[in-house]
Amino acid sequence: MTVAATAPSLPVTPRPGVGDRLSRMIRLPTVSAELEARGSEPFEDVVALLAELYPLVHANLVRERITDFGLLFRWQGARASEAPLVLMAHYDVVPVDEDDPWTHPPFEGRVADGWVYGRGALDDKGPLAVILEAVENLLAAGFTPARDVYLSFGGNEETYGEAAATIATTLQKRGVVPWLVLDEGGAVVDAPLPFAHGDAAMVGVGEKGVLTVRLTARSEGGHASAPPRLTAVGRIARAVDRLGSRTFHARTPRGITRMLSLFADTAHGPGQLLLRTLATFPRLTARAFALIGGEPAALVRTTVAATMQQGGTAANVLPSQASAVLNLRIALGETVAGTLRRVRRRIGDRSVELTVLEASEPSPESPTDNAQFALITRAVRESYPDAATVPYVMMAATDSRHFHRFCPAVYRFAPLEMTSAQRASIHGVDERVQIASLERGERFHRALLHNLV
C-alpha cells in the first residue's frame, strides 16, 4: 500500500488551559441515566459552554441540533466532493454512587498536580475536548482540511440513545458516505499483554454486538412450606446455570491475530515465540484464550452474564413469577438471531420465556492495510512517538456502530494515555486524566486533520 507523504508542517501554538476547559465540562452533571431526575438543563448547559469555550469552531463550522441530544458540526474542506472524515465523542456520563470514596467530588472537576479529576474525564468528555481543541487551534492558524470534516457528538451514548443513530441516518440520507469514522474506544496503554513490552496505541477495528434478554418463568404460588418439584425461581436458576462459560464456541478474529503479530515484533525470548505461535495458529489462540478466561476469553467468543434477578414478595411465599436479565456480548462473525437460538437450545426449557430488551449486531472488522489506518498510525507517531499502533476488538459498544452499515472504515481510539488504574476508573471511582495526555491527544487530532489527504 502506498502511503501519502506527510503534509508540510503548519505553525500552530495550542491554547493553554485545556485542563481548565475540561474541568468546566465535568462540572455539568450530564448523567443520561438520570435524565428524568436531573432534567435536561445540564445538557443544554454543555451546548452553551462549548460555544463559549470554542468560539472559532462555532463561528466557522455549521452546527445542527439532531434530536435533543445530538450535535453535528460540518467543517468544509478544500475538496468538498471527497468523502469526509467523521470524528465522534459523547458528552453524557454514567451515574455516580454517592457512597464511593472519590478523592475529589466527581462533579467538581478538580484540577490538581497536573491531573483533571471527575466523572467524564476519560469517558468521554476528555476525548471530546481534545477534538475541539485541535479544531480550534487549526482554525486559529488559518487551516482548511483537505476534505470535509464532521464532528458528531451525542448526549445519550451511555443509555443507548438515538442521537448518534439519527446523526448517522441523517448523513446516509444526504448521500454522505464517510471515508473514515473515528470514535472512542482504545487508548495508549503500557504492556497491554504479558511479554509485550512498551506503549501501544490500541485501535478498535471492530466491536462486539449487544444483546439483553429477560428470562421469565411462571408457576403456581403458595406457601413456601410445601414447594413443588420446580418453582419459578428454581426454573430460572437452572436456566442461568446452563448458560456457562462454554455456551458459545471460541474463534479468533483477524484483528486479534494482527494484534498478536505486532506484539511479537517487540517481544523477546520465550515471550516472542509464544506470541508468534499464537499469531500463526488462530484456532490455538481461541482455545488458549478461552481457557485463560476473563478478558482474553471475551476477545474470542460471545459472553453471557446474568446481571439482574427478580421474584418473590416475602420470605415464606412462593412467587408465581421469577425473572433474570442476561447481558450478552456477541462475538464478531456471529449474529443476534444465531445467539438467541443457541441460548434457547442451552436452556432447553420451553417454560422459560425469552424477551429481547435490546439488540445490536456485532460490527464487521475494519481493515488495517488501508490509507485510513495508515493515517491513524501517522497521527499516533506524531503525538506518541514511542507507541506502536495495534488493532484489537472492543468488547463494549460505542456510537460508531451506527456507521458500519454504510462506512467500511470505522475505528475506535481515544488518543489519551491510560494506566490500568485509570481504565478501571471508567464507570468507577476517581476517574481522571493527566493534562499532559490531553495535550498529546490534541496533537493527535491536529496531526490527523493536518495529514488528511
Catalytic residues: 92, 157
What cell numbers appear for 85 in the block?
A: 472524515
Q: Which amino acid is at 256?
A: I
Q: Which of 38, 26, 233 is nearest to 125 (CA)?
A: 26
Whether the bond between 124 and the residue before it is cis, its omega within 30 degrees of 0, is: yes
What cell numbers appear for 448 in the block?
A: 490527523
Q: HEC profile for the chain?
A: CCCCCCCCCCCCCCCCCHHHHHHHHHCCCCEHHHHHHHCCHHHHHHHHHHHHHCHHHHHHCEEEEECCCEEEEEECCCCCCCCCEEEEEECCECCCCCCCCCCCCCCCCCEECCEEECCCCCCCHHHHHHHHHHHHHHHHCCCCCCCCEEEEEECCHHHCCCHHHHHHHHHHHCCCCCCEEEEEEEEEEECCCCCCCCEEEEEEEEECEEEEEEEEEECCCEECCCCCCCCHHHHHHHHHHHCCCCCCCCCCCHHHHHHHHHHHHHCCHHHHHHHHHHHHCHHHHHHHHHHHCHHHHHHHCCEEEEEEEEECCCCCEECCEEEEEEEEEECCCCCHHHHHHHHHHHHCCCCCEEEEEEEECCCCCCCCCCHHHHHHHHHHHHHCCCCEEEEEEECCCCHHHHHCCCCCCEEEEEEEECCHHHHHHCCCCCCEEEHHHHHHHHHHHHHHHHCCC
d(CA 425, CA 419): 10
Q: Which of 12, 13, 21 is nearest to 438 (CA)?
A: 21
Half-sphere exposure of 324 (CA within 13 A, CB side): 20
- Say if residues 234 and 352 touch (Cβ distance below 8 Å): no
CB atoms within 10 A of CB 143: 15
What cell numbers appear for 185 in the block?
A: 474506544
